Structure formats: C-alpha cells, structure tokens
A and B are shown apart, each in its own frame.
Chain A
Amino acid sequence: MHAENEVHFRDAAAKALLDPQLRANFRRAMDGLITKRKAQFPDPRDLQDLRDLSTAIRSRSLLCLPELLEQLEASCARNGIKVHWAETCEQANQLILGILQAKGAKTLVKGKSMVSEEMHLNAFLESKGIEALESDLGEYIIQLDGETPSHIIMPAIHKNKDQIARQFSQKIKDAKYTEDVDELTAMARKVLRQKFLDADAGLSGVNFAVAETGTLCLVENEGNGRMSTHVPPLHIAVMGLEKVVARLEDVAPLYAILTRSATGQAVSTYFNLITGPRGAGEKDGPQEVHLVILDNGRSRIYADPQLRATLRCIRCGACMNHCPVYTRVGGHAYEAIYPGPIGKILTPQMEGVGVRHDLIHGSSLCGACGEVCPVEIPIPEILVRLRREATHDDMASTVAGKATGRTATEDWAWRLWAGVTKRPALYRVATWFATRFGKALPANAPLIKNWTQSRTKPVPARRSLSERMRAEGASHE
C-alpha cells in the first residue's frame, strides 16, 4: 500500500514546480511574511525569552493535560457550555450532526477551523442535507472552487487576484468582473452578511481553551469568527484536545507570539473570549454553546515523550512560511490537511508512517522550521525519528505503520554499503574503482537517476582522501 502512496508528494511536487504562476504566488507571499515576522522581533533577547516562556507554558499544559481537560469541562459546565468528547473524526461529525438536528438547524456558518478540515465536516454535513458555509474570506474563496486550504493561516494564498476576480464573476450571482480587491471584498461581505443573518448555527475553532475560567479564545482579523459565534442562536466550537492551557494569563504570551509568528502582526483585529452562551439579561449571543473535544490520534502522539512536543503547536504556520520546500511547491502538493513542516510530522503520526511515507522524505532537513517555531518543536529531529520508524521496527513506540516504508532496493543498497565499509580491504578496492571509473557511470543509471533528474551528476574525486594522505602526507599538521 505504501508504494502507491509514496509517490503522491513526489508527483504533486514535480507538477507544482512546473507551474510558474503558483510558484510566483507562493514566493511573493512567503517572502513578505518572513520580512514582516522579522520586523516584529527586533530584539533577539526578547524573542528568545518569549519563545522559552511560550514553550514552557505549552509543555506545562501538556504535562497536566488530563487534569486540565477535566478542569476545562467542569468550568465550561459551570458557565453553561456543554462539552462533548470524540475519539474519532467520524464520532465528532456525528456529535455535531446530533446537536444541529436537535435544534432543527439546516444552515451552518463557519469560522476558520483546521480541526473541522481534519474531520471533513463540510462534506459530511452536506451529505446530511445541512449547508456548511465557510465565512473566512480565504476559506470562502476556496470553498467556491471546491478546493482545500493550501496554508493553515492563509487558505487561499495559492491564488492571485485575477484568478479570484474570474471566479467571483462566474460564481457569485450578479457579480461583475473586477480586479479591485476592495470591490471583491465588498462582494463577499454582501453575500456573507446575509448568511450570518439567516444561519441557524455557527461553528468555530478554538485557538486556546482556558481550564480555569472555561473560556474559548478566538484569534481573528475579519470578524467572521465573532459573526459566526454571536449571531446564530447556536454556537458549536471544535478543538483538538491539546489546545487547553491552565490560566488566562498563560494565553497572553502565546497570543503575542502567535500573531507575530503567523502574519507579522503585533496583534490581531479581534481577540474574542467566549465564556458562555447568552447570559441573564443579555440581548444577543447564542442561546446554546457546545464544545467538541477531538482526539483523532492525539492521545497516541501524547504517549511518546519525544513525539509529544508535536502537540505544543499553536498553528501559527511560521514553519511553512520559512520552509524552502513549502515555498516552492505550495500547500496542495502535500495532499494532507496540515501541509508544510508541521504537517510532515503531524500527518504521519495521525495516519501512520507507512500511509504517508512520502511526506517524511519531502524535507531538506535544513532546520529552518525548528529555528523559527515559536514553541520550539524540534521538527527536524522528529522527522528523522519518523524516517527511522518508517523503515524499522526496533523501537518501543506507539507510531502506527512501523517498518511499512521499507523497500527492497533501499535495503539492498544499505546492506551493500554496510558490507563494504565494514571490510577495509573491500572498501579500498571499492574506492579505487569509484575514483577511477565513477565518472563513467551514466547519469541515468538506476538509483542515480532520481537524483540526476533535476541535479548535476556528482563526480567522485580522482583520488580518495586516504590515497592523497599517503601520497602528500599531513604537512599542515
């Protein structure tokens, strides 16, 4: 099975590399985001202190995770928020369907939520006759085209305004063709305002959930998150179980580093704290608020001390913005809910290393992702670990699909390598042949072919290091 899946990323990436428009769209956007983030952290000491503090807060939250989740549930119940638990995406979808059906809801407006993407919630609800409309402008744009997000913060980053102008003029009723961004935004505002007004229910993600106060925090710029959670009579929030923190105070540094890392903003337009449904005497706000806590493999990741660091992620997307691979191929090439470096470690952990064997190899291991991560997730180290898990079954771990990425060719090549390097005489003969005749090896020879397709063929030196040492001596010792 893995062999078939293995080529997904390679093929999709090769295709993306041939699309100059896509490459230009991503390059421009990522370069801009890198510059803006840098400008937000002028003092390296402040940045490191803030990263250390944020990492410590997330690590503490994870150490106490079961207790904090129970505390969150109790605090939410006290505030009138109903908490539900789902082990799988299917279960979460069924729970949400049940909540909507109990209220007779037929239309749902959604704020941005990557967990709902993970659940394929929109398709599920539509199959049950419920309209699920994305209201974040980027999500709305891609939903019109039947696409998935290509970035976790900027879902429509792969499109330019000409493409969006064409799409709006074709798909929005009575829309005229314009490339003016303000006019395009106004068109979406008009359509979506009516949807907010009419919707039976609203759905949102959760950036941070505060155990002590039972508060759901939402970070956004557009106001669609507030619209979705304040206007309809029913609000459903979905979150991965790792999103909880102990105290509201903990949220302040995480929020500060999130917006700066993500889009280079010191602060977002709205930071919304939802602690309950419409209270006594309140004239607006939802009558009911539900929180769905999703596991979907997270408790398995949690069980491993090294892999647990993955759950520190605050979904800022900085690793994508700084990744040389992501910048060149874009988010869709990963064919995963979470693209880029964090997706490369998260997806195989959720779905198994065999199933998404291709992803863990789609990295240059340059380390930029780990360097920029605001909560110091060692992404490169975890990638290397998962590469080993994909081909070996010699570690006690909970990673699914161990050793299923092993191929006969690779096995053979490494065995040959080990056999030669373990025998000094054989090694000397092999290097003698490689230095004398390596140049003659054709570029399309097996194993070399994959490398030389897009690179110059490596040519061995004319003499090996030991030969030169013998001949020249170590004169500069």
Chain B
Amino acid sequence: MSSPNSSAADSRSAILGRLRAAGDSGPLPALDTAVLERRQWSAAERVTRLRKGMEAVHTEFIEATPADWPAVIRAFCEREGLRNLLYGPTSEAGSALAAAWAPGGPQLKPYDRPVEDFKQELFGDIDAGFTGTVGGVAETGGLLLMPGPAEPRLMSLVPPVHIALLRASTIQDSFWSAVKALGWGRALPPNALMISGPSKTADIEQTLAYGVHGPKRLIVVLVDDLK
C-alpha cells in the first residue's frame, strides 16, 4: 500500500511518461503576430478608444486634472451620498487622496489590517473602494491593476462602488502590448488583473444585469496628463 504522497508522485511520472512517449509530431509552428502589431494609436486616440469600450459596458467616467483629481473624487462621493471610501493609505494614489481630504463629510477608511479583522465591516459597511491603476488598454477598454500590500485585492471587488484613478498617459494599445510594456511576462505579483466594467451577468435569459457579485458601479477618474 503506497502512501498518498508516493501515489501522487506516481501519477506525475505516469502522466509525463505517457506524454513523452507520444513524442513530437512535427516542427514548432511559427508565430505570426502581425495581427497584434496592427493595433497602434496616438495617445489621444487611445483615450477615446478606452473610453468607448468601457462606456459600452456601463463604466462611468469623470474627467480630472493632475492637480484636482482628489477634489473631483470628494465631490463625487458627496454628490452620490457615499458615507465612506476605502483606500490604501500607503499607496501613491491613496496617500495623495488622504493628504487632500478635508475633514467632515464622507469618511476615508484605510485598509490597513488583515482582512480577517475586517471582513464583516468590509462586506457590510463600506460604500466604495478607491484604487489606483498601473495602466489601461485602448483596444478593448480596460484598467490594469496590481493589487498588493498597499492596495489589497478586495478593494476593487467587495464594495458596491469601485472608483479607479487612471492617468491617460498610462494607456497602452492592447493587452498584448501592455503585458510587454509592464514586464508582466517576466514576473508577476500574486495578483494582477484587468477590469473593463462593473460586475455583470447575462445568465438569466441573456438579459444583462449589473452588480451580481462585485461592484455595481465602476467609476474611472480619468486624469488628463497628456499635455
């Protein structure tokens, strides 16, 4: 009788053995990536394309400048009657937001503890989450996020509203060019993702419904830093 460990090792070598025994059945096909390389636009066009793609899936945009974006976010929270906004106090965008946040009104809540100490509050009492982005994708419309110690993964998922800061200069042509530009193919943190809109489903009679599990609204604060 073998132990569970040795039987797992047996499976591994049996599977790999069978695959190896099958041998190669031809030369490696060449990869022609011309279809991906055709996607190239000017910086201004990238903004337009990203916006069009994301608006088509119910993402909302707010325009801002490099100087006024914290005030723009504050005004949005007040206008929408949000009680609080979850942010990462050690992230670049989070600390800039906190520095500009005047007392009173919507409350800034730092995500500064392990989720285990915070789960009930996170699921029940947070109105919105704020994150930065590491880029965007023009071709299809999408935000690139790299959650981590400064910006935990659940900030962009659990609160009913996700507010994301996107600098126009960071928008790439396509997901393919973004992977290359950001060096994602060499090394990745435990989690990275692309988001194109609020959570949605069409599982009931092909009818689109938003906010099935994740955020019901995705707000992109688009900072025009192209000038």
Chain A interface (Cβ < 8 Å from any Cβ of B): 25, 28-29, 32, 46, 49-50, 52-53, 55-57, 59-60, 63-66, 69-70, 79, 84-87, 91, 94-95, 98, 135-138, 141, 154-157, 159-161, 164, 181-182, 184-186, 188-189, 192-193, 196-197, 212-213, 215, 221-224, 226-227, 230-231, 241, 247-249, 251-253, 255-256, 263, 266-285, 293, 295, 299-300, 302-303, 305, 308
Contact = CB atoms under 8 A, between A and B. Distances in A.
B80 interface: no
Interface of A is mostly: helix
Nearest to B29: A56
Contact of A52 (B14, B32, B203): B32
A266 B53 contact: yes
A221 B202 CA distance: 9
B103 interface: no
A266 B55 CA distance: 13
15 contacts: A28-B206, A29-B206, A53-B33, A56-B29, A57-B31, A161-B204, A164-B204, A221-B202, A222-B200, A226-B214, A252-B175, A266-B139, A269-B200, A279-B149, A284-B154
| Most interface-central of A85, A164, A221, A274 (chain B CB within 10 A) | A221
Contacts of A25: 205
B193 A227 contact: no
B83 interface: no
A46 B111 CA distance: 44
B174 interface: yes
B22 A302 contact: yes
Contact of A87 (B4, B11, B187): B11
Nearest to A251: B179
Contacts of A155: 203
Contact of B20 (A50, A66, A98, A223): A66
B72 interface: no
Contacts of B25: 63, 305, 308
A222 B214 contact: yes
A269 B57 contact: yes
Contacts of A276: 189-190
Interface of B is mostly: loop
A267 B15 contact: no
Nearest to B18: A299
B11 A161 contact: no
A57 B141 CA distance: 24
A223 B197 CA distance: 11
Given A161-B205, A271-B193, A275-B189, A253 B15 contact: no
B111 A283 contact: yes
Contacts of B98: none
B140 interface: yes
B179 A249 contact: yes
Contacts of A256: 140, 175
Contact of A53 (B8, B36, B175, B179): B36
B29 A185 contact: no
Contact of B142 (A189, A267, A272): A267
A303 B191 contact: no
A136 B213 CA distance: 9
A433 to B, nearest CB: 50
Contacts of B14: 87
